[in-house]
Amino acid sequence: MKYFIKTEKIRFQHIDFAGIVFYPRFLEMLNGLVEDWFEEALDRPFCKMHETNGIPTVDLKVQFKKAARLGEVIIKELWVKELRTSSLLCAFLFKNQQGEIILEGEVTLVNVKMAEDRKAISSEAFSDTMREKISYFLLP
The verdict on pTM exceeding 0.85 is yes
pLDDT tens track, the chain, 140 positions: 699 999 999 999 999 999 999 999 999 999 999 999 999 999 999 999 888 899 999 999 999 999 999 999 999 999 999 999 999 999 999 999 999 999 999 999 999 998 888 888 999 999 999 999 999 999 97
Tell me what pLDDT residue 1 has: 65
Q: What is the 3-state secondary structure (H, E, C) of the chain?
A: CCCEEEEEECCHHHECCCCEECHHHHHHHHHHHHHHHHHHHCCCCHHHHCCCEECCEEEEEEEECCCCECCCEEEEEEEEEEECCCEEEEEEEEEECCCCEEEEEEEEEECEEECCCCCCEEECCCCHHHHHHHHCCECC
